[in-house]
Amino acid sequence: MNQVVAATVWLVCGRFVSASPPDELAKYFSAEVPEQALEENYNVAPTTPIYSVRARDGNRSLATLRWGLVPFWAKDTKIGSKMINARSETAPEKPAFRRAFRKRRCLIPADGFYEWAKVAGSKAKQPYFIHRVDEESLVFAGLWERWVPKDEEGKDLADTDPVDTCTILTCAANETMAPVHDRMPVMIPPGSWDEWLDPDSDPDNLRELLVPASDSLLTLYPVSTGVNSVRNNGAQLLERVKRESPDGVLFDPADLGGDPT
């Protein structure tokens, strides 16, 4: 599958690329192909459409959702830009996420994600690309919600199209991620996809899935600071660099334990 990247605005998993064809994703998840196909995007920003897997009546479907969850009670969609991630430790109780955690769970495919590490002695940050060692698709735990436009009194407007949005759950970082960031996306293994997607699953039992991925699952390498701007796109963003010099400061990836070659 083509690589799908996730990046952040100094948060965890706050921008990601979707480059895999929808028919490949649908086959991977044994899901229905979405009505709307997205263009390849190696630098997806919050509030843009992304692929998500949902289940209904026991069948999986690949849908396009707006990234950044908008609670059903929100006055408008602006809040979504602040809801791209949800902490797995508190999401089940938070007013913005608890309803979705109980009944509206989804899977969000990605082939990797970006994260930025601080450069010692500088304000600069070095971006890294994190992906599976076997280059299989990553599958993030997500929540989704449906928002309906409202009138001035906060009542749902009739005859208006609803907006389906989603967020990515995060947890504490594993040892692979820890040198770069203290958080990471929650990843759901294939054997737990059905349980996570089933709206009738016991939410308390699902907490057992909200744990860091195995330390051996992921690997990472430094990439160009070109990913810092959402205006930049394309597969070249995934190219490995030996060292970066943001703000004129040379940075050796070996400083974080990475391979400097």
Catalytic residue among 115, 145, 166, 244: 115
258 band by pLDDT with thresholds 50, 70 and 90: very low
Residue 36 amino acid letter: Q
Which DSSP category does 150 fall into?
B
Cα–Cα distance measured from residue 228 to residue 18, given in angstroms and rounded to the nearest whole number: 17
pLDDT for residue 218:
95
pLDDT for residue 7:
31
pLDDT of 243 > 60? The answer is no
13 is catalytic: yes
pLDDT of 261 > 60? The answer is no
- N residues, the chain: 261
More confident position, 149 or 253: 149
32 is catalytic: no
Highest mean pLDDT among 157-171, 203-217, 222-236: 203-217
pLDDT for residue 35:
83
Q: What is the pLDDT of residues 99-116, one digit of tens each?
A: 999 999 999 999 889 898
2 band by pLDDT with thresholds 50, 70 and 90: very low
DSSP 9-71: SSSSS-EE-B-S-HHHHHHHHT-BPPSSPPPPBSS--TTSEEEEEEEETTEEEEEEEEES---
13 band by pLDDT with thresholds 50, 70 and 90: low
Average pLDDT over the chain, rounded to whole? Answer: 86
pLDDT for residue 160:
83
Q: Is 56 exposed, middle or buried (0-12, 13-18, 19+ CB in 10 A)?
A: exposed
Full set of structural domains in the chain with CATH:
6-256 (3.90.1680.10)
Q: What is the pLDDT of residues 125-178, one digit of tens each?
A: 888 999 999 998 999 999 999 999 887 777 777 778 899 999 999 999 999 999
pLDDT of 210 > 90? The answer is yes
1 band by pLDDT with thresholds 50, 70 and 90: very low
* Mean pLDDT in residue range 207-236: 93
Q: What percent of the chain has pLDDT over 70?
A: 87
